[in-house]
Every structure is written in C-alpha cells, then in structure tokens.
Amino acid sequence: MIEFCPKCKNIMLPKGGMLKCTVCGYEMELKEENTTYEFKEKIEHKQPEVTVIEQVDTLPTTRVECPKCGHMEASWWLQQTRCADEPETRFYKCKKCGHTWREYD
C-alpha cells in the first residue's frame, strides 16, 4: 500500500508509527496497525542522447611547412600559455596529416 501526501502529492514513508512526507514534512497516522510498508526504488538506465555534429574547420589558414609531412598549409590559432605579460603561443595544425605544433614569439 502506497500513501501519497495530500498537500504536495509526494510519497509518504513510515517513521515511528506515522507516515511522514519526505518533502513537506506532513505527518499522518498509519491507517492500519498491521499494514507493512515496503520501499522499492526503480532505477531506469537511460541511454544518453548523442548529437553528431559535422566538424567544420573555421580556423584561419596560412602557408607554413608541416614538420611531419612537409605539406605547406596549416590552420593556426593563438593561446595564452604563459604569464599574462608574455606573448601568446601560436599553434599550427597541418591540413593534410593533422599534426599539431607550436611556435613561440
């Protein structure tokens, strides 16, 4: 037998001869002394939703030689990797083989 709170409609659990709402604290007497209450929890395993996004390369490109394959085109970006008073680090990613390397100023 499951009882629900008349105030907030959440489940009421037995505690010390009374039924107590776990959310609002409302209490009421047990209807029958010999009634057994059993609490079971059903856990549903949901599969996460996976969104597939086509990767679009929006980084700027430049003519620089890849140290791995020798290709002459790479994407580049700047990132602050040291103290704020130091210049940014320039990263390159080869458009052909995907090799990434950095250049310091």
User: What residues form the annotated binding site for Zn(2+)?
Assistant: 5, 8, 21, 24, 66, 69, 94, 97
Q: Is 86 a catalytic residue?
A: yes
Domain 61-102: give its CATH architecture: Single Sheet (2.20)
Pairwise pLDDT comparison (39 vs 28), residue with the higher score: 28
pLDDT value of residue 67: 95
Asked if 3 is an active-site residue, the reply is no
Answer whether 1-39 and 61-102 agree in fold: no
Q: Give, in order, the Cα–Cα distances in Å from 51 to each of 29, 36, 41, 48, 56.
A: 50, 46, 30, 10, 15
Catalytic residue among 29, 33, 49, 85: 85
Cα 19 to chain center, whole Å? 37
CATH 2.20.70 applies to domain 1-39: yes
pLDDT value of residue 37: 62
Round to whole Å and give the CA distance between 5 and 21: 6
Residue 81: what pLDDT? Answer: 85
Map out the domains of the chain as residue ranges: 1-39, 61-102
Render pLDDT for 44-97 as a digit per residue (tens, 0 to 9): 878 888 777 777 778 999 999 999 999 999 999 998 888 888 889 999 999 999
